[in-house]
């Protein structure tokens, strides 16, 4: 009593099966046997070896992998994925050309390579996913490689391929030369054809904000890499350690960096490079999946200066370029998947990567080929569904969580909507969360780049105040008009922005407020009450009740308000406005009634 049993599972492989003793007949047979044992230790499947770890379902294996403790070198970061394909340049020599990129959704180079497409949800063929699984199963997998340059990575990958028999020594130099070809990025063409034009306020402010953007991503740590290189085209040495990656001996030409796209990349993000192509000196494809530890900034490999963490290489004989392209899209899409992304960071061997692919295949929905058009691009959803349920293990008895438990978990989306049980506990936690960013909310606006946003917010705040102020003056017979509405909105807006820490919130009169004021004024007029005195009393009571709600953490109940509540309230306001419009229309009909018995001869005599 007072104790509980703790069961610890240890992964123990099966004992090796006995073999019949015989004499070796030459070095070739010994090498084949050694390669077979190497494949077994490497985690590749073979008919005589089945790991007990593979007896679980893919989701259970993935949940086990994601449940391992994080270390400093395997903490998942946001990923930017770029796919380059090997192609001829002017029909003379090979070069790597950027064809697609992923932040969360896919973007392709289209219209003859002139511009990027809009982001869209990637649609993959099931065959390419199975081929990708076969590539990971039979190709070279090197995890936690320590290298500082692309030359070192290429040498280590080729040495591993030759040692495992995937690549012949005679064509090593050809493959190495292909790997180290120049990378041509889409933004290089845009910068080379740029013509000086009249710059807007946003362009002027961009020049001042670019240094802060690079500092945020850990790419400016010395004066030599200063933002002056953005205009002069000079190169600067980068020696930062913003994401824990190695950036020594790396050089970035900031004149070729697309700062508009750089702003979309989250701080601390890393890169995943997918290299696919066809060559004429290979008889069979060669595949390599590499995870660098730590991430390394490889100059010229990626269109934006972020350190590279993953490399996927697929080179094969000529004639199958579309097939290689689809496999490259498959691995790039997998790297943007929340679950496989974490598995790739925490994988210990080849089997972990295969488990991540199998779990992804379990979640895939297949569309019949004759019932939809694959050329139609699917627009990204407004809100991306959470994938956390794929990472959470099921209940111990194998049953899934009930709908009530899932619903209860869905109500508590974040710490802001949790009850503290203390007086003003939620307010104190809000102040602690907001304090580090309070000054930056106002200082960041002191930039020319924010001028357009400031003017827009000014008009957005002024327009409804003046509009509804005029309607209030008509509804309250001048008690509250546009001047009072403008003065009240100014005071409350400044106070709310300073003390609530929400400078972007638009305050002022709205439709429900107008309806309420009309009903209140009619009530005061019917019962001979002072409208302004009653309105002041209502305001004081509202302030008192708000303080009570803050003190008791009543804002946590907001998580139970569904879309139905919002739409029902909006429908009520619409009905009230429609009723008011029809009422005024009928009132005009009574005051200015139609004369159904008019005489055209006396038309000018009617008053």
CATH code of 89's domain: 3.40.930.10
Compute φ and ψ for 386, nearest 5 degrees: -75, 140
- 457, 534: one domain: yes
Residue 287 is predicted with a pLDDT of 93
Tokens of 159: 């040495």
CA distance 82 to 80: 7
pLDDT profile of the chain (607 residues), mean per 10: 48 44 45 49 45 66 81 84 80 79 87 78 90 93 91 92 90 90 75 45 47 51 36 40 44 63 84 90 91 88 88 90 92 91 90 92 85 83 80 58 48 70 89 85 83 86 86 88 88 81 64 86 93 93 92 85 82 85 87 76 70
Number of domains observed in the structure of the chain: 2
Closest-CA residue to 325 (of 137, 96, 100): 100
- 310, 170: one domain: yes
Final residue of a structural domain among 560, 585, 600:
560
Final residue of a structural domain among 353, 379, 405:
379
pTM over 0.85, yes/no: no
Q: 13 CB contacts (<8 Å, ≥6 apart)?
A: 51, 52
584 within a domain of the structure (yes/no): no
- 307, 450: one domain: no
460 within a domain of the structure (yes/no): yes
Q: 139 CB contacts (<8 Å, ≥6 apart)?
A: 166, 286, 287, 288, 289
Residue 221 is predicted with a pLDDT of 38
Which residue matches tokens 């924010």?
450
Residue 237 is predicted with a pLDDT of 43
- 359, 448: one domain: no
> Strand, helix or coil at 257?
coil
Residue 87 is predicted with a pLDDT of 78
Residue 502 is predicted with a pLDDT of 60
How do the residues of the chain divide into helix, strand and coil, expressed in percent and rounded to 5?
50, 15, 35
Tokens of 218: 């850990």
- 153, 65: one domain: yes
Give 455: exposed, middle or buried? Use CB within 10 Å, 0-12, 13-18, 19+.
exposed
36 within a domain of the structure (yes/no): no
CA distance 295 to 451: 38
549 within a domain of the structure (yes/no): yes
Residue 304 is predicted with a pLDDT of 85
* Range of the structural domain that residue 484 is part of: 437-560
177 within a domain of the structure (yes/no): yes
CA distance 599 to 219: 87
Q: 565 CB contacts (<8 Å, ≥6 apart)?
A: none
406 within a domain of the structure (yes/no): no
> What Cα–Cα distance (Å) separates residue 526 from each residue in 520, 529, 584?
10, 8, 19
- 444, 361: one domain: no
DSSP secondary-structure letter at 225?
G
500 within a domain of the structure (yes/no): yes
Residue 252 is predicted with a pLDDT of 56
């Amino acid at each position: 009593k007072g104790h509980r049993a703790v069961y610890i599972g240890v992964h123990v492989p099966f004992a090796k099966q006995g073999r019949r003793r015989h004499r070796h007949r030459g070095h070739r047979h010994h090498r084949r046997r050694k390669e077979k044992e190497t494949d077994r230790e490497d985690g590749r499947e073979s008919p005589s070896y089945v790991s007990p770890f593979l007896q679980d379902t893919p989701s259970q294996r993935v949940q086990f992998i994601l449940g391992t403790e994080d270390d400093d070198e395997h903490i998942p970061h946001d990923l930017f994925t770029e796919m380059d394909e090997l192609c001829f340049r002017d029909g003379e020599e090979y070069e790597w050309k950027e064809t697609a990129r992923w932040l969360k959704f896919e973007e392709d180079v289209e219209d003859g390579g002139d511009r990027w497409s809009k982001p869209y949800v990637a649609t993959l063929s099931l065959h390419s996913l199975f081929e990708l699984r076969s590539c990971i199963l039979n190709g070279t997998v090197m995890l936690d490689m320590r290298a500082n340059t692309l030359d070192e990575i290429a040498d280590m990958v080729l040495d591993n391929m030759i040692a495992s028999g995937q690549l012949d020594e005679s064509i090593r130099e050809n493959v190495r030369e292909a790997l180290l070809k120049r990378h041509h990025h889409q933004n290089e063409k845009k910068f080379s054809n740029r013509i000086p034009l009249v710059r807007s306020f946003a362009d002027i402010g961009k020049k001042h904000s670019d240094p802060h953007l690079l500092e945020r991503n850990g790419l400016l740590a010395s004066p030599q890499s200063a933002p002056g290189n953005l205009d002069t085209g000079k190169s600067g040495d980068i020696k930062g350690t913003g994401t824990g990656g190695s950036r020594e001996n790396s050089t970035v030409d900031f004149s070729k960096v697309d700062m508009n796209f750089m702003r979309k990349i989250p701080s601390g993000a890393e890169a995943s490079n997918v290299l696919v192509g066809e060559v004429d000196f290979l008889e069979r494809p060669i595949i390599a999946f590499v995870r660098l530890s730590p991430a390394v900034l490889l100059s010229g490999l990626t269109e934006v200066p972020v350190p590279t963490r993953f490399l996927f290489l697929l080179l094969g004989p000529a004639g199958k370029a579309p097939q290689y392209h689809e496999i490259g899209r498959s691995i790039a899409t997998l790297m943007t998947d929340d679950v496989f992304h974490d598995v790739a960071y925490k994988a210990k061997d080849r089997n972990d990567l295969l488990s991540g692919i199998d779990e992804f295949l379990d979640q895939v929905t297949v569309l019949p080929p004759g019932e939809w058009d694959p050329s139609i691009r699917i627009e990204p959803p407004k809100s991306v569904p959470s994938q956390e349920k794929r990472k959470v293990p099921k209940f111990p008895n194998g049953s899934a969580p009930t709908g009530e438990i899932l619903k209860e978990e869905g109500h508590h989306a974040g710490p802001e909507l949790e009850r503290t049980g203390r007086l003003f506990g939620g307010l104190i936690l809000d102040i602690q969360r907001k304090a580090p960013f309070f000054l930056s909310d106002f200082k960041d606006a002191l930039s020319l780049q924010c001028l357009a946003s400031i003017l827009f917010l000014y008009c957005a705040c002024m327009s409804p105040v003046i509009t509804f102020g005029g309607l209030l003056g008509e509804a309250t017979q001048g008690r509250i008009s546009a001047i009072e509405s403008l003065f009240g909105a100014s005071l409350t807006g400044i106070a709310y922005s300073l003390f609530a820490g929400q400078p972007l919130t638009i305050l002022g009169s709205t439709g429900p407020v107008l309806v309420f004021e009309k009903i209140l004024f009619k009530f005061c007029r019917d019962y001979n009450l002072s409208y302004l005195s009653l309105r002041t009393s209502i305001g004081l009571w509202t302030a008192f009740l708000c303080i009570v709600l803050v003190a008791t953490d009543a804002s946590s109940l907001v998580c139970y308000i569904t879309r139905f509540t919002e739409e029902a309230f909006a429908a009520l306001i619409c009905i009230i406005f429609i009723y008011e419009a029809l009422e005024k229309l009928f009132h005009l009909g009574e005051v200015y009634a139609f004369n159904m018995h008019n005489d055209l001869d006396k038309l000018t005599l009617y008053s």
